[in-house]
């Protein structure tokens, strides 16, 4: 067992073992602050705050993920957790620990780390490696330190140990957080797979041992709470991939989450068995496979790999393409192929596309659009809605969740990592096991829970959390106002009013010009636009003399024209007044 110590601030004693000494005075408390992942599936980020005599002393961060835009977030690429709460608490942050290597748990780190200060970071070996790729790409020099599953970390009042769980990416960990107040078990994404592809099953004996110590609160993955029984093993997918490969007379395109390297390894082995060459299409696939091979998580002969530019010289029935874009992302390689917009790959009616992934909640429309575009080429499409054994969730079903809950026997339980319906269904499962409804904690969005010894947890704060949106190179540039304008343009259209005004007199030098896009068809709405011009002209006639407040003039145009168009059409387009000072 390896033990790692992190120095403690001078005002509090340094602890070398799980003996909390002065910490356990009855004046201390631990708060759980979800900045993401509670009530939603992605952008997971949790704070554990230790407070002594009511004063914040230490913060431990678990995970730092990204989310994906919904249909109303026009032009947005990614969504980050809102960390404004930490802006004046950087000196209290002692470290960040990752649970596993999926982007919704590590993907936010290159954007958020510079705002946290130079804090130490840890993660299981594969998660650390994937996170370090992201840090390196953005020029950040700090690196995530790789953990073994028998490591222990002491960070002030937090004593951390790690338990291996099975999931859809190797090296998935649950974290046992021992504090002066009690033991918190952070149980993010997991399932109990008895025959995992990497031959490393969940460490049930460790879970039982923690349960015997007594757990104050379990934070548990809840995404599969609506499914009965146990989630099947990954092993069943191989037979379906092999069947589809046999049926295909042309090339086979295979897609899954780019971090699901065990499933990618399985697909490669089947393709090699049938004499096909492998090509990786997509930066995320390329990077993750290369890193996994380097660390020994994947193995295959190098001579079976071909470059994408060599595909045209190879018979289609000898090709097996592993392609990024399982969630229907519009810029992904798979979406570009489906739209016939890829440089090297074009679909035919002889080809097969295997989607070995279910849509993340909120991405269903994107995946449906992708499948429809593939079908238009006449290609065969295999996906989980029509084939049961093509995708196995990485998340446990109700049986997996009840097994974890029974083994730990926590005093309180807080479901995480699901939408609100998943959290409520988890509460029903816990109540079926005999838990009181009040012991299943489901805080509303932004609510902060505080735990003290010998006292029921209570809500002590409520944070206003917003989506931090990434649009191109901008982080946070797209706020609620910009997003609202984009939604208005998409649904109602835009009207640009160009008004030339003489600065000295405040008079128009010529009639206003009105330009519309997405609002009305100009050729059939000439009279409406003529009347709109009159409305703008009348709204400015009362203005005489040198104009001092041009903003007022723009507002006057916007309000008068907006009121007129709403009355005439029942619509509220985005109105952009452009005043030319002449």
Q: Known catalytic residues?
A: 221, 395
Q: Contact at 8 Å (CB) between 392 and 233?
A: yes
How many CB atoms neighbour CB 91 within 10 A? Answer: 9
Phi, psi dihedrals of residue 446, rounded to the nearest 5°: 90, -10
User: How many Å apart are CA 108 and CA 45, to the nearest integer?
Assistant: 9
| Per-residue 3-state assignment (H helix, E strand, C coil) for 85-135 | HHCCCHHHEEEEECCCCCHHHHCCHHHHHHHCCCCCEEEEHHHHHHHHHHH
- Of 265, 210, 284, 257, nearest to 395 by C-alpha is 257
Residue 319's Cβ-count burial label (10 Å; 0-12, 13-18, 19+) is: buried
Q: Give, in order, the Cα–Cα distances in Å from 301 to each of 137, 277, 293, 316.
A: 28, 11, 11, 21
Which uninterrupted H or E stretch holds 28? strand 28-36
User: How many Å apart are CA 348 and CA 341, to the nearest integer?
Assistant: 14
Q: Give, in order, the Cα–Cα distances in Å from 469 to each of 33, 133, 477, 546.
A: 21, 22, 7, 42
- Of 177, 174, 183, nearest to 158 by C-alpha is 177
| Sign of the CA dihedral with 425 first, then 428, 432, and 437 last | positive
């Amino acid at each position: 067992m390896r033990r790692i110590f992190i120095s403690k601030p001078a005002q509090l004693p340094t602890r070398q073992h799980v003996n909390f000494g002065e910490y356990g005075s009855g004046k201390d408390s631990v708060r759980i602050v979800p900045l993401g992942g509670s009530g939603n599936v992605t952008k997971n980020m949790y704070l554990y705050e230790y407070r002594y005599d009511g004063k914040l002393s230490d913060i431990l961060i678990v995970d730092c993920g990204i989310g994906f835009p919904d249909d109303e977030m026009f032009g947005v690429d990614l969504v980050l957790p809102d960390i404004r709460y930490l802006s004046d608490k950087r000196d209290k942050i002692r470290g960040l620990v990752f649970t596993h290597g999926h982007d919704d748990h590590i993907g936010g780190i290159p954007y958020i780390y510079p705002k946290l200060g130079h804090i130490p970071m840890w993660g299981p070996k594969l998660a650390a490696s994937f996170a370090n790729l992201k840090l390196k790409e953005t020029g950040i020099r700090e690196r995530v330190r790789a953990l073994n599953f028998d490591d222990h970390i002491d960070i002030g009042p937090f004593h951390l140990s790690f338990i291996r769980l099975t999931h859809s990416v190797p090296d998935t960990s649950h974290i046992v957080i021992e504090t002066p107040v009690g033991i918190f078990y952070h149980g993010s994404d997991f399932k109990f797979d008895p025959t995992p592809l990497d031959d490393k099953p969940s460490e049930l004996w460790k879970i039982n041992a923690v349960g015997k110590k007594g757990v104050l609160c379990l934070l548990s993955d809840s995404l599969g709470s609506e499914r009965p029984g146990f989630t099947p093993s990954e092993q069943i997918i191989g037979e379906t991939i092999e069947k589809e490969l046999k049926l295909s007379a042309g090339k086979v395109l295979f897609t899954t989450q780019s971090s699901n390297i065990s499933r990618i390894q399985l697909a490669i082995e089947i393709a090699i068995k049938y004499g096909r060459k492998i090509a990786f299409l997509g930066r995320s696939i390329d990077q993750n496979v290369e890193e996994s091979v380097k660390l020994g998580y994947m193995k295959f002969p190098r001579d079976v790999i071909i470059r994408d530019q060599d595909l045209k010289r190879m018979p289609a029935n000898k090709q097996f393409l592993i392609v990024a874009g399982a969630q229907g992302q519009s810029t992904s390689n798979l979406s570009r192929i489906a739209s016939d917009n890829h440089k090297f790959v074009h679909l035919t009616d002889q080809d097969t596309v295997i989607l070995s992934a279910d849509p993340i909640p909120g991405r269903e429309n994107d995946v449906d659009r992708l499948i429809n575009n593939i079908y238009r080429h006449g290609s065969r499409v295999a996906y989980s809605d029509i084939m049961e054994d093509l995708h196995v969730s990485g998340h446990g079903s109700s049986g997996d969740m009840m097994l974890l809950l029974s083994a730990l026997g926590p005093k309180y339980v807080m479901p995480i990592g699901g939408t609100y319906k998943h959290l409520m269904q988890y509460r029903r499962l816990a109540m079926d096991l005999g838990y009181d409804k009040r012991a299943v904690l489901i805080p509303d969005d932004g609510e902060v829970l505080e735990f003290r010894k010998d006292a029921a947890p209570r809500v002590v704060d409520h944070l206003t959390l917003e989506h931090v949106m990434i649009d191109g190179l901008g982080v946070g540039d797209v706020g609620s106002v910009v997003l609202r304008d984009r939604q208005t343009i998409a649904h109602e259209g835009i009207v640009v009013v160009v008004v030339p005004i003489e600065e000295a007199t405040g008079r128009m030098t010529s009639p206003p010009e009105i330009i519309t896009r997405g609002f009305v068809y100009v050729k059939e709405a000439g009279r409406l636009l003529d009347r709109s011009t009159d409305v703008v002209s009348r709204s400015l006639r009362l203005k005489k003399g040198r104009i001092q407040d041009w903003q007022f003039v723009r507002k006057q145009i916007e309000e008068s024209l907006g009121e007129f168009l709403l009355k005439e059409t029942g619509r509220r387009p985005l109105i952009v007044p452009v005043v030319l000072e002449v």
